[in-house]
Amino acid sequence: MDLIDDYQPQQDRTEPCPGTLYIVGTPIGNLGDLSPRAKSILKRVSLIACEDTRRSGQLMKIIESKVPLLSYHKHNFKSRQKQLLELLKNNQSIALISDAGLPGINDPGEELVKAVRTIKHEVICIPGPCAATTALVVSGLACQRFCFEGFLPKKHGDRKHRLKIISEEPRTTIVYESPHHLLKLLKDLSTFCGEERPIQIARELTKRYEESIGSTIGDVIKHFEINKPKGEFTLVIEGKKEKNQEYKISESEALNKLKKLINQGEKSNIAARKVAEETGYEKKWLYSKLHKKLDK
């Protein structure tokens, strides 16, 4: 088959199939990113399940869709699920959309997809924008292997656990954050990952004032202490690099550096981090060696 045949538009692909759930990607900022296929489906399905009927209503007005809207969000998805499954069983077609991006990525969607699969009805994705992958591919950091964390937990114990995982993760990590909590998150990341860890922060993706800020965690903290965070943020954090075993100095010299910093008034954990970054030794190893010497 000629490769071009795979890209020929086919009329039946834009007509919704009865009893099918469509996962439809919508713009994360720029209306031009709504695909013709997505627009066609949103104008032809029986019902559209959406996070916010007012916000989605504005998009439907622009594309001249008169399809009824039904709210489906994190506070009501459990009660709505039975209703949506019944509609599919009655051969209605449903489009699921979020306020922005691809449904199921950091908002309700996966539960409904699982339930629809359970009753043996078809689920079709109409691909569209996603803030996580958009920020990743423009970051300049490794894209071949990455993981997505979404918004981190607010509870101290759960948050600390996730930050610890991120600090040890060798793959690139993607995190979402609001402007009000951005600086707190960056300072937490500095504590766990070190201020020299490379990072890129994308804001207002696909919009007029889109920008990418970054180099290291320490640098972006300084930037946002001067420039008040505005907009929604996607953080792309470089994975932990494996240490080269050819250390710059001997173990005894590294420990002497550590003790010197502590004698000068530096806190032991901060001193261990600084020496680790300078010499290549693990912070944990330096810290443990220090306390063994103190215990003797």
146 neighbors 172 (Cβ within 8 angstroms):
yes
Is 196 a residue whose pLDDT tops 70? yes
The predicted-structure confidence for 248-292, as pLDDT tens digits, reads as follows 677 788 888 888 988 898 888 888 888 888 887 777 778 777 765
Chain centroid, CA 97 distance in Å: 18
Q: Which residue has the tokens 């600084």?
A: 274
% of the chain at pLDDT higher than 90: 71
> Measured between alpha carbons, how far is 173 from 7 in angstroms, rounded to an integer?
33
- For the chain, the structural domain boundaries read 10-129, 132-237, 251-295
Instruction: Name the pLDDT band for 12 (thresholds 50, 70, 90).
Output: very low
280 neighbors 265 (Cβ within 8 angstroms):
no
The predicted-structure confidence for 41-57, as pLDDT tens digits, reads as follows 999 999 999 999 999 99
Percent composition of the chain: helix, strand, coil (DSSP 3-state, to 5):
45, 15, 40
Q: How long is the chain?
A: 296
Instruction: Name the pLDDT band for 293 (thresholds 50, 70, 90).
Output: low
Indicate the average pLDDT of the chain: 89
> Measured between alpha carbons, how far is 186 from 173 in angstroms, rounded to an integer?
14
Distance set, CA 163 to CA 56, 149, 265 (Å): 34, 10, 27
E strands present in the chain: 21-24, 47-50, 69-71, 94-96, 123-126, 146-150, 172-177, 198-203, 211-216, 233-237
Res 214: pLDDT? 87
Instruction: Name the pLDDT band for 3 (thresholds 50, 70, 90).
Output: very low
Res 7: pLDDT? 52
> Measured between alpha carbons, how far is 26 from 30 in angstroms, rounded to an integer?
9
% of the chain at pLDDT higher than 70: 91
Is 66 a residue whose pLDDT tops 90? yes
The CATH classification number of 10-129 equals: 3.40.1010.10
Instruction: Name the pLDDT band for 296 (thresholds 50, 70, 90).
Output: very low
Fold of 132-237: 3.30.950
